[in-house]
Amino acid sequence: MTTRPIRIAPSILSADFARLGAEIEAIDQADADYIHVDVMDGHFVPNITFGMPVMAAVRSYTAKPFDTHLMIAPADPYIAAFAKAGADSITVHAEAGPHLHRSLQAIKAEGKRAGVAINPATPLSAIEHVLDDIDLLLVMTINPGFGGQTFIPATLDKVRQANALIGARPIDLEVDGGVTVDNIGEIARAGANVFVAGSSIFAGNDPATYAARIAALRAAATH
CA distances from 143 to 106, 122, 152, 191 (A): 26, 11, 9, 20
Active site amino acids: 38, 176
CA gap 145, 39 in Å, rounded: 9
Q: Please check whether residue 171 is in contact with residue 136, taking contact to mean a CB–CB distance below 8 angstroms.
A: yes
Beta bridge partners of 175: 139, 195
Interior/surface letters 52-85, b for 16+ CB within 10 angstroms, e for the rest: bebbeebbebbebbbbbbbbbebbbebbbebbeb
CA distance 22 to 12: 11
Distance CA 41, CA 46 (A): 8
